[in-house]
Amino acid sequence: MDPVKLKSQILSILFVASNPVSIKEIQESLGVNEDEIKIVIEELVAANHSSGIILLAHNNKLQLASNPDNTQVVKKFLSLELRERLTDSALETLAIITYKQPVSKAEVENIRGVNSQYILRQLLIRGLIEKIPSSSDKRMQLYKTTLEFMQHLGIKSQNELPNFEELTKNITLTPQAPPEAKIEI
């Protein structure tokens, strides 16, 4: 495979991955041999050393990360970002996790009907949710709320939350027709 295209594809995979990706997973995704991947990885590690985004390679796993030289700037940015209110989408995702926990990313996305990776990442950064390994499949990560989340709500246990069935029993959802598309010429 063309090395430039291979670099591009590897970086794309790592960009969308929420966890470190093994060389074997990349190999299976791209259908190229391990030696080709390792050569490109070495080039990427060397080339990105002075970039804001670097490639971490450890124990045959890869992950994109911000350059440690930029730690102070990143911390300052994140502290400003964390002061912002949670979006409706983030609150919806947090409610799903709160009442369904522990819950997988796939379950959250199935309930919401949209990709939730960015929102889950934001909730993780804010310390409102955490990842735990699934008891049935150690490779799968589940999400649950944190003690910090409970402190924000002023509760000591999950049992103090309002009962979901009680809250929703009198709510009737009526399907709405999608808005008509307007085409302007």
pLDDT at 112: 92
Residue 4 pLDDT greater than 60, yes or no = yes
Using the structure block, give the residue that is written with the tokens 């670097």: 54
> For residues 6 and 8, what is the distance between their CA atoms, to the nearest angstrom?
5
Angle in degrees, CA 93, 153, 123, rounded to 5: 35
CATH number for 3-67: choose from 1.10.10.10, 1.10.1740.110, 2.40.50.140, 3.40.1180.10: 1.10.10.10
Stretch 76-96: mean pLDDT, rounded? 82
> For residues 182 and 98, what is the distance between their CA atoms, to the nearest angstrom?
39
pLDDT at 81: 63
Please, which pLDDT band fits residue 44 given cuts at 50, 70 and 90?
A: confident
Least reliable range by pLDDT among 18-22, 44-48, 64-68: 44-48
CB neighbours (10 Å) of residue 184?
Answer: 3
| Run of H or E including 63 | strand 61-66
CATH 1.10.10.10 fits 85-160, yes or no: yes
> For residues 112 and 96, what is the distance between their CA atoms, to the nearest angstrom?
9
> For residues 76 and 166, what is the distance between their CA atoms, to the nearest angstrom?
42
Average pLDDT, the chain: 84
Stretch 161-168: mean pLDDT, rounded? 79
pLDDT at 144: 94
Instruction: Dig out the tokens for 133 from the structure.
Output: 């390994």
Query: Is 0.75 surpassed by the pTM of this model?
Result: no
**CB distance 48 to 54 below 8 Å:** yes
pLDDT at 65: 86
**CB distance 52 to 66 below 8 Å:** yes
pLDDT at 166: 80
Q: Which of 110, 109, 111 is nearest to 119 (CA)?
A: 109
**CB distance 130 to 144 below 8 Å:** yes
Percent of the chain with pLDDT over 90: 28
CA count, 13 A, side-chain hemisphere, 41: 23
Domain(s) labelled CATH 1.10.10.10 in the chain stretch across 3-67, 85-160
Using the structure block, give the residue that is written with the tokens 């989408």: 89
Residue of higher predicted confidence among 50 and 32: 32
Using the structure block, give the residue that is written with the tokens 């994140």: 78
Stretch 70-78: mean pLDDT, rounded? 82
pLDDT in tens, 93-116: 999 999 998 999 999 999 999 999
Residue 37 pLDDT greater than 80, yes or no = yes
